[in-house]
Amino acid sequence: MKKVLALVLAAIMILSLAACTKNNNTPSPSNSGTNPPGNSSNPAGPATPAVEEVKDWVHYLTQVNEMETFNILYSQANKELQVLTNCIDGLLSNDSYGNLVPGIAEKWESADGGKTWTFTLRKGVKWVDVNGNEKADCVAEDWLWGLEWVLNFHKNAAANTSMPIEMIAGAGDYYNYTKDLPEAEGKALGIDKLKEMVGIEATDDYTLVYTCVDRLPYFPTLTTYNCLYPAAPALIEELGVDGFLACTNENMWYNGPYVLPTFVRENEKVMTPNPKYWNPDCKRFDSVTYKMVESGAQAYQMYENGELSYVELTEDALNTIYQDAGHMFNEKLVEARPTKYSYQIHLVFNKNQEDGETPDDNWNKAIANEAFRLSLYYGLDAEPYLARINSINPLKCANFCYTMSNLVNFSNGQEYTERVMELLGITPSTEVYARYDAEKAAQYKKQAMEELAAQGVTFPVMIDYYISGSNSTALDTAVIFGEMISENLGDEYVKLNTLTYVSSLANEVRKPRKASIFINGWGADYGDPQNYLGQETYGEDNAYYSTAYSNANDITDEALIAVYKEFTKMVNDAKNITDDMDKRYEAYAQAEKYMMEHALCIPWYVDVHWQLTQVNDYSKIYAPYGIQTNRFVNWETSKDGYTTEQYDAFAAAYAAGAGK
């Protein structure tokens, strides 16, 4: 078994090298979108005769990942988008190598080097209700209604605005225009003013034209993300503005491969094929059921009982199976492909006490101190935490950058995060956690204690960390996390205070500002580093993590404000470089280096877990950006589940196909 595991790991390492350039190619301005029609994910791997395929897929999500909105234009969270991407289609999708392929747009092209992009839409795409009844044609003007909704401050509250604002001509002006209007006037707007101000035009029912702020060769990658998704004007009229924002699975309209007739909160949701889907030849399940579970341990029990089609293994379950050669699942251990998410420890700079109202001055002073932040940055040896994700190869989960790997490459072939680590002087290792530096951490700890004591800060500084009260896996991980902090930095200096919430992290913790830190991930919405670093800038409404998590705009410490302003300037300077992609990427890499040197957040892990599964992951859509990777289309499956040996073959075939 261990020999087989070594083989599959070697194969995966090969494919990561072989596929990186292919995965990260953005279309050239002359790309005419000549890929085969449909949403094919180009299944990889050898054909397996006499395999009984899965007809009804049973997925699972932990209850903390229950949906909070069905409005795809408003959501910025994977817990909703992984479902809604199956319900609503955009212009383009991806294949299993991350290449752009047609969606509702049959082809796309730019005649002026990427300043203007024209998308030709396919005819016959229908909007349907939850029962599959036809409601309207899906036409080019629906994308104008979708963009108006996103950019209208009073309709979408700045959600998903950062990308169109930085790319589409006039989008920022329109957002500011709506923000300055009285709420009633903003909500009453249609698309007439948008047509006047913003670089988007429906020249006919099936031709959509975007005008960018500059030559942007990567602009088509943004169409795989929901900020550029369509909205049916008849549905907005039917539900009203407030009703459309609060739409449900029962009254929303669909144009994607599935509809969602069943939704029982914190229990299950069931998708069935859309009978009017524009691509009836794509391979779909008869049903997709999401089971909501309390923890990974419960999910494993359900898989053992034949109730799930796959399960991500907790540390305990993985070790039990791996160490027992006779275990029924020993030969079916599969190391999953890395997800697209880069996880960070997000630091909260303006925090309240547990009452959610009184400022937590002790924490706010401590976290504003750079020496304190750097003691955390250098002083936490993450390996015990990473073992909770992947106990066999924990350091494969180590993360040292804010941006996820394999997003973009320099023209010489160097991958972007390799350059960031080069600037930081970090060399990843399979033996030790590369960022951990006990000597530096001790120096910064001493400095921080002296500086903070002079400000009246008391020790130990308590790190309030919230987890779901019903998630036993999260609790076990928090115990390891707390022990690691105590062992690395000392209880006299800093301690983890693990607290719980009942059902909504956003409403119970994040909005009342009760947490000191969040461990959360970001996946790219399009193929450019701006989508990562732009979430952390200062003084900008559209910077998601700065506004929703770290509360950076409410910092009062002048030195920290100056650091944030310099970082923001570096990011915006990089964003303005559009004529030389190498210079652009280098400028972003320098900004990311600056961010790490001042520990504005702490890169923590990437998700490379082990699983038991009935799907060949190499047949699925796999892209480093957008929301397409969660689509249940064109999957190769086996009701018996796949073995390690089979995944070895899939990985090798995938790597061989990457160069074709």
Q: Is the pLDDT of residue 43 over 90?
A: no
Q: What does the alpha-carbon distance between residue 537 and residue 567 come to, in Å, rounded to a whole number? A: 7
pLDDT digits (tens, 9 = 90+) for 345-364: 999 999 999 999 999 999 99
Domain contains 276:
no
Domain contains 6:
no
Return the sign of the alpha-carbon dihedral for residues 473, 477, 480, 486: negative
Q: Which of 173-177, 380-384, 565-569, 575-579 has the lowest mean pLDDT?
A: 575-579
Mean pLDDT along residues 260-281: 96
pLDDT band at 164 (very low <50, low <70, confident <90, very high): very high
CB 98 within 8 A of CB 622: yes
Domain contains 176:
yes
Edge-first strand order for the sheet with 602-606 is: 517-523, 341-347, 602-606
Residues 231 and 364 in one domain: no
Domain contains 637:
no
Tokens of 232: 């049916």
Query: Which of 638, 37, 104 shows the shortest CA–CA distance to 282?
Result: 37
What pLDDT, on the 0 to 100 scale, is given for residue 303? 97
Return the sign of the alpha-carbon dihedral for residues 450, 454, 455, 456: positive
pLDDT digits (tens, 9 = 90+) for 397-410: 999 999 999 999 99
Tokens of 480: 């390891």
Mean pLDDT along residues 608-621: 96
CA angle 397, 400, 404 (to 5 degrees): 75
Residues 416 and 558 in one domain: yes
Domain contains 273:
no
pLDDT digits (tens, 9 = 90+) for 169-205: 999 999 999 999 999 999 999 999 999 999 999 999 9
Tokens of 145: 């209604």
What pLDDT, on the 0 to 100 scale, is given for residue 49? 56
pLDDT band at 15 (very low <50, low <70, confident <90, very high): very low
CB atoms within 10 A of CB 200: 27
Residues 361 and 483 in one domain: yes
pLDDT digits (tens, 9 = 90+) for 79-104: 999 999 999 999 999 999 999 999 99
What pLDDT, on the 0 to 100 scale, is given for residue 179? 97
Q: Is the pLDDT of residue 110 over 80?
A: yes
For residue 415, list its beta bridge partners.
Answer: 409
pLDDT band at 40 (very low <50, low <70, confident <90, very high): very low
Domain carrying residue 429: 355-606
Domain contains 585:
yes
Domain contains 652:
no
The CATH number that applies at residue 393 is: 3.10.105.10
pLDDT cut 70: percent of the chain above it? 92
pLDDT digits (tens, 9 = 90+) for 119-157: 999 999 999 999 999 999 999 999 999 999 999 999 999
The full length of the chain comes to: 660
Point out the domain boundary residue: 187, 217, 246: 246
Q: Is the pLDDT of residue 617 over 90?
A: yes
Tokens of 648: 């070895």
Mean pLDDT along residues 277-291: 97
Domain contains 349:
no
Pairing relation of β-strands 602-606 and 517-523? unpaired
- pLDDT averaged over the chain? 91
Type of residue numbered 584:
R
Q: What is the DSSP string of 150-217?
A: HH-HHHHTTTT-HHHHHHBTTHHHHHHHHHHS-HHHHHH--SHHHHHHSSEEEEETTEEEEEBSS--T
Residues 528 and 393 in one domain: yes
pLDDT band at 536 (very low <50, low <70, confident <90, very high): very high
Residues 226 and 360 in one domain: no
What pLDDT, on the 0 to 100 scale, is given for residue 660? 52
For residue 462, list its beta bridge partners.
Answer: 495
Query: Which of 560, 382, 609, 413 shows the shortest CA–CA distance to 481?
Result: 382
Q: How many domains does the structure of the chain reveal?
A: 2
Mean pLDDT along residues 47-75: 89
For residue 194, list its beta bridge partners.
Answer: none
Q: Is the pLDDT of residue 503 over 60?
A: yes
Alpha helices per DSSP H over 492-642: 505, 530-533, 544-548, 558-575, 581-597
The CATH number that applies at residue 86 is: 3.90.76.10
Residues 451 and 578 in one domain: yes
Q: Is the pLDDT of residue 30 over 90?
A: no
Q: What does the alpha-carbon distance between residue 654 and residue 660 come to, in Å, rounded to a whole number? A: 10
Point out the domain boundary residue: 562, 582, 606: 606
Query: 350: helix, coil or strand?
Result: coil
Point out the domain boundary residue: 246, 261, 284: 246
